[in-house]
Every structure is written in structure tokens, then in C-alpha cells.
């Protein structure tokens, strides 16, 4: 059997294969439609479709339908997002300037805090020397 080959054992285990076979028996087209979009699961589902001897035409139609849906969705998101790129760039530049100012203030505050903390320790050390004398 194909899945017993050492190269395919890394892709899918026997337990995983049996679970996918059960799901494939019930909802073969839906498993392909949804599973195609999950990284790491796509190869396993395509392998199970072959092992289960799914009709090539049925597989190609299901795969093509989900590919068209994905392409249309990503193209639409790119079109809508592309229109607002200039606005996002302007806002991002403003946010970068504010972030730089905030970081400079925090860094300055940290330096002042460390200075006074060290200065306080030095004074406590001098008081300890005076008490011992």
C-alpha cells in the first residue's frame, strides 16, 4: 500500500489515515473543500483521496471550486486593502513618530531612575561607614 512506503509515513500515520478515511466516507467533497486550506492537512487529504479511489473528475471539480473561491476571496481582500494603502502609510508614519518619542521618554526615565537608585545606595553606604566609626 502507498502509505506503508517510508516517504509517505512522514506525511500521514496509520491512525491519521483511518480517521481521514472515516470522514472521507461521509463527506468526501466537503473534506477536500475545507481541508485544502489547512497547512499540513492538504497533502494528507489528497493522499487519502487517492487511497480511497475517489473519482478523478469529482476530485478535480472539488479542488477547482475551492481554488476559485480562494482566489476570488484573496483578490477581493487585496483590492479592498489596496485602496487604503496610502491612508495606512500616512497613519503608520505618524504612529512611528509617536512610538519613537514614547521610547525616548521611557529610556530617559529609566536612566534617571537608575541614577537616583545608584545615588541612594551610595548615600546608604556612607551612612553605614559613619555608624561603624
What is the per-residue pLDDT for 128?
A: 58
What does pLDDT average to in each consecutive run of 10 residues of the chain (133 residues)?
63 72 76 79 77 83 88 87 76 85 94 82 64 54
Q: What is the pLDDT of residue 12?
A: 67
- Cβ atoms 32, 66 nearer than 8 A: yes
**Contact yes or no for 9/3 (Cβ under 8 A):** yes
The residue whose grid cell reads 502509505 is 3
Structural element, H or E, at residue 59? helix 56-83
State how far the Cα of 34 lies from the Cα of 68, in Å rounded to an integer: 13
How far is 84 from 86, CA to CA, in rounded Å? 6
Q: What is the pLDDT of residue 102?
A: 94
**pLDDT for 100:** 93
CA distances from 121 to 31, 71, 124, 130 (A): 67, 65, 5, 14
Cα distances (Å, whole numbers) of residue 44 to 7, 19, 40, 47, 102: 13, 11, 7, 5, 49
> Are 20 and 31 within 8 A, CB to CB?
yes
Statement: the pTM of the whole predicted model exceeds 0.75: no
Amino acid at each position: 500500500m502507498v502509505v506503508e512506503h517510508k516517504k509517505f509515513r512522514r506525511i500521514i500515520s496509520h491512525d491519521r489515515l483511518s480517521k481521514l478515511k472515516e470522514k472521507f466516507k461521509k463527506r468526501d467533497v466537503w473534506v477536500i473543500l475545507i481541508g485544502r486550506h489547512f497547512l499540513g492537512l492538504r497533502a494528507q487529504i489528497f493522499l487519502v483521496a487517492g487511497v480511497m479511489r475517489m473519482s478523478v473528475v469529482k476530485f478535480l471539480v472539488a479542488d477547482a471550486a475551492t481554488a476559485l473561491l480562494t482566489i476570488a476571496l484573496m483578490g477581493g481582500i487585496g483590492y479592498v486593502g489596496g485602496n487604503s494603502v496610502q491612508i495606512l502609510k500616512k497613519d503608520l508614519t505618524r504612529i512611528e513618530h509617536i512610538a519613537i518619542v514614547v521610547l525616548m521618554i521611557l529610556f530617559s526615565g529609566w536612566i534617571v531612575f537608575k541614577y537616583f537608585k545608584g545615588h541612594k545606595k551610595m548615600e546608604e553606604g556612607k551612612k553605614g561607614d559613619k555608624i561603624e566609626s
